[in-house]
Amino acid sequence: MMSFTPLQMTREQYILATQQNHLPRTENPQFYPVGIYGWRKRCLYFFVLLLLVTAIVNLAMTIWILKVMNFTVDSPLILQSDRNVTLNARNALGQLTGQLTVGADTVEAQCKKFEVRASGGGRVLFSANEEEITIGADRLKITGTEGAVFGHSVETPHIRAEPSQDLKLESPTRSLIMEAPRGVQVSAAAGDLKATCRKELHLQSTEGEIFLNADTIRLGNLPVGSFSAAPPSSSGPQQTVYELCACPNGKLYLSPAGVGSTCHSSSSICLWH
């Protein structure tokens, strides 16, 4: 067990007291506050308040514009103007490549190619450019009372009328011409085929023949010659059998039938007509 003498304790106390005397002492210590105070704090609050007011004003203006322009999620987009509405498309160089103008009387589209596509499969229903116009719909229906007017030729593989409706091709003031290098066929499967004209009806075959195939062939309103082998008698039977004759120019006429041919006897009818 260790023991300390009073001299040793005094020496240690002296050393400790001497070290404490050499330590720097600070009298009246100063504390520096950390933060924004004074006019800087007031300016910060002012700018925060100004930013909040600006955001509220912008939100209010946005809602007002959406309300005035009728911009809603469920309604379509409507563009209105007192004069016209024009939509322009430009390329990377700023050059105008397409324009759509909706005016009071007309709708104009200026572009290299104009297409109308179906909403389902994207099939082209209508296409127009400088060279041609293509209609890709399954059926082209014209409901106007005057029909369709074409200034030049029309090429189509099939022209068909509506069910239970008549198909009429008409040229009111000029000629109607149908041409085909391999033939023109006109048929009526369940009805009559009529060809009427005001003047002359010509059937001409330059290299072949005209073939009429029917059980009965009728030629109405043919002129009748005046040949008679015997003097007419009021009590005798009327002439009911005639001979079909042809003039050198191809005109047909009827001559009363006799024992032999009577065409030469009544051939004077070729001179009358």
Q: What local confidence, expressed as pLDDT, does residue 100 receive? A: 92
Two tokens, residue 92: 């990377």
* Residue 254 reports pLDDT greater than 80: yes
Contact 253, 263 (CB under 8 A): no
pLDDT digits (tens, 9 = 90+) for 6-48: 444 566 666 665 655 555 555 555 666 666 778 888 898 999 9
Q: What local confidence, expressed as pLDDT, does residue 266 receive? A: 62
User: Mean pLDDT over all residues of the chain?
Assistant: 79
The three-state secondary structure class of 19 is helix
Residue 38 to residue 103: CA distance in whole angstroms = 63
Q: Which residues of 178-188 are buried (b: 16+ CB within 10 A; e: fewer)?
A: eeeeeeeeeee
In the chain, beta strands by DSSP E:
85-90, 96-102, 107-110, 114-117, 124-128, 133-135, 242-246, 252-256
Q: What is the mean pLDDT of the segment spanning 191-196?
A: 82
Residue 263 to residue 129: CA distance in whole angstroms = 67
Q: What local confidence, expressed as pLDDT, does residue 76 receive? A: 72
Q: What is the mean pLDDT of the segment spanning 175-204?
A: 82
Q: What is the mean pLDDT of the segment spanning 195-199?
A: 83
* Residue 212 reports pLDDT greater than 90: no
Q: What local confidence, expressed as pLDDT, does residue 2 receive? A: 47
Q: What local confidence, expressed as pLDDT, does residue 61 receive? A: 93
More confident residue, 84 or 167: 84
Looking at this protein, which amino acid is placed at residue 49?
L
The three-state secondary structure class of 55 is helix
Q: What is the mean pLDDT of the segment spanning 43-57?
A: 94
Looking at this protein, which amino acid is placed at residue 23?
L
Q: Which of 192, 245, 238, 193 is nearest to 219 (CA)?
A: 245
Specify the DSSP element, H or E, that contains 143: none
Q: What is the mean pLDDT of the segment spanning 131-152?
A: 83
Two tokens, residue 229: 């082998």
Q: What local confidence, expressed as pLDDT, does residue 1 receive? A: 46
Residue 257 to residue 227: CA distance in whole angstroms = 9
Q: Terminal CA-to-CA distance of the chain, rounded, Å?
A: 175
Maximum average pLDDT range among 86-100, 158-172, 200-214, 231-245: 86-100
Sign of CA dihedral 225, 229, 230, 231: positive
Residue 40 to residue 27: CA distance in whole angstroms = 32
Two tokens, residue 191: 């009805």
Q: What local confidence, expressed as pLDDT, does residue 3 receive? A: 47
Band (49; pLDDT cuts 50, 70, 90) = very high
